[in-house]
Amino acid sequence: MPKYHAVCVNIKNFKFINRTISARRSDVVLHEYARYIERHMSENEIFARIAGDSFVGLVMDENIHKFLNKISNVKLYADKECRFIQINSRAGVYDVQIGDTVSDIMGYIDAALNVARELNEDHIFFEHSMMEKMLKGKEVSALFPVAIAKKQFEVFYQPKVNILNNELCGCEALVRWNRKGSIVPPMEFIPVLENEGTICQLDFYVFESVCETIRSWVDRGVRPVTVSVNFSRIHLKNPNVADEIFSIIDKYNIDTKYVEIELTEMSGYDNYENLSAFIKTMRDRGVHTSIDDFGTGYSSLNLLTDLDVDVVKLDKSYSIRLNNNEEKTKILIHNIVNMVHELGFKVIAEGVETEEQADFLRDIGCSTVQGYLFDKPLPLADFEQRLIGKVKYTV
């Protein structure tokens, strides 16, 4: 009896070459892609569309690698009007064993597909450790609506410090999940929520909580600092995201200069039009934006010329690399900081943990930093003490 691999394929994105993307043409994409897959299957194999842009199939063991290579990045002739379609897909793959039930197999390929999505890989082969991760993810999804309704998410504030005078000059809002008294860090739930799109709900929850806090500072005569809030790139699919942000700002009647939107590194992001329109709207209405984790992707440099952001946050991996005191790393960071300044942006270095790192950054003109050397993300009450007491860091 032949041995098979089960595959779950999901269309990641598509684009009509020589033609603007139109949602109405997704029927053409599905049809052409299905025909293409059919052409690459042998008699004993099967493939079917199960929903939306997802397909599942059984491919013979000896064909699996060739098959995966053929389907991930495809350019197809479509019709006279749209000429060519470029289709990128991703797949979860499982080596079927005797005794597996259909629902086992579906669960395994789904888990592998989720990992492929998270790692932005074309395909991933299933491993049993992925099931545990998926079950945890399912738990997060199931608990999220209740957690948000019960306000179990808490906003922590990490100071940004001006290392020329060691004063607190801003802060970043970072969410925590207070689950029955234990604090769950964002990396344990944010990837799951991003996968599902529910991260948008959480980001607005955090943003509203921040605006409420700023309002309360103003009402109590405490001079606010600008608070930056992380927004997932998934928001950019929502044409009303800017309006929703401003309606919260208006609700609390706060000055726009007190909030900043951090957008995580956008390399690999394919809808620059939405992104730059969003940044422009924020700028026109007085809200600063920043690129978070700058330098972690491949097209970082293009972002600097294409986008009108205000602040570039140098990823913490650069600060960590400074620990080795390598001359090459220093040259790299020095030049990035100079270039970003010359292009007219402010630079913030993240992840500063040692005095040596802070000294180096000060010497090269990067005067705003964030890191454990000064403070970890703090609960609101602790942060307020720093703010009200006009803390002077001793570094």
The amino acid that residue 368 corresponds to is T
Distance (Å, whole) CA 49 – CA 38: 12
In terms of Cα–Cα distance, which of 44, 99, 40 is closest to 71? 40
Residue from 118, 143, 178, 186 binding ligand C2E (CB under 6 A)? 186
With CB under 6 A as the rule, give the number of residues binding ligand C2E.
25
Please report how close the Cβ of residue 277 comes to ligand C2E at its closest, in angstroms: 20
Q: Rounded distance, CA 333 to CA 324, Å?
A: 13
| Binding to ligand C2E, residues 283-342 (CB under 6 A) | 292-293, 316
Nearer to ligand C2E, 105 or 358 (CB): 358
368 binds Mg ion (CB under 5 A): no
Which residues make Cβ contacts (< 8 Å) with residue 155, sequence separation at least 6? 173, 174, 175, 176, 206, 209, 210, 213, 380
**287: exposed, middle or buried (Cβ count in 10 Å: 0-12, 13-18, 19+):** buried
| x/- track of binding to ligand C2E for residues 37-76 (CB under 6 A) | ----------------------------------------
45 is a site residue for Mg ion (CB under 5 A): no
Alpha carbons 272 and 287: distance in angstroms, whole number: 19
Judged by beta carbon distances under 5 to 8 A according to partner kind, the member of Mg ion, ligand C2E, none in contact with residue 92 is none
CB of 161 to ligand C2E, least distance (A): 11
Choosing from 109, 147, 206, 242, the residue that interacts with ligand C2E (CB under 6 A) is 206
Tokens of 29: 């994409």
Give which of 389, 315, 376, 371 is closest to 176, Cα–Cα. Answer: 376
Q: Interface residues for ligand C2E in 352-391 (CB under 6 A)?
A: 352-353, 370-372, 377
Assigned token pair, 126: 């299933």
Q: Give min distance, CB of 377 to ligand C2E, in A.
A: 5
Which two tokens mark 314? 């140098």
Q: Does 89 bind ligand C2E (CB under 6 A)?
A: no
Q: Smallest gap, in angstroms, from Cβ of residue 337 to Mg ion?
A: 16
318-357 footprint of Mg ion as x/- string (CB under 5 A): --------------------------------x-------
Candidate segments 116-124, 213-221, 271-279, 344-352, binder of ligand C2E by CB under 6 A: 344-352
Whether residue 54 contacts residue 8, with contact meaning beta carbons closer than 8 Å, is answered with yes
By CB under 6 A, is residue 187 in contact with ligand C2E? Answer: yes
Residue 158 interacting with Mg ion (CB under 5 A): no
* Region near ligand C2E per CB under 6 A, out of 65-73, 181-189, 294-302, 385-393: 181-189
Contact set for ligand C2E, span 235-294 (CB under 6 A): 262, 264, 292-293
Report DSSP state, residue 210: H
Q: Does 203 bind Mg ion (CB under 5 A)?
A: no
Name the 3-class secondary structure at 82: coil
Which span (5-13, 182-190, 217-225, 249-257) binds ligand C2E, by CB under 6 A? Answer: 182-190
- Residue 244 phi/psi, 5-degree rounding, is -65, -40
The helix (H) or strand (E) run that includes residue 348 is: strand 346-349
Residue 286: partners with Cβ closer than 8 Å, 6 or more residues away: 256, 257
> CB–CB of 310/288 below 8 Å?
yes
Using CB under 6 A, which of 10, 72, 114, 158 touches ligand C2E?
158
Tell which one of 93, 199, 275, 358 touches ligand C2E (CB under 6 A): 199
CA 109, chain centre distance (Å)? 24
Instruction: Specify the stretch interacting with ligand C2E by CB under 6 A; choose among 71-79, 85-93, 162-170, 345-353.
Output: 345-353
Please list, in sequence order, all residues whose beta carbon lies within 8 angstroms of the beta carbon of residue 118, skipping any fewer than 6 positions away. Answer: 191, 195
Cα–Cα distances in angstroms (integers) from residue 365 to residues 301, 317, 347, in the given order: 20, 19, 9
Q: Which residues bind ligand C2E (CB under 6 A)?
A: 158, 174-175, 185-187, 190, 199, 203, 206, 230, 232, 262, 264, 292-293, 316, 350-353, 370-372, 377
Q: Which residues bind Mg ion (CB under 5 A)?
A: 230, 262, 292-293, 350
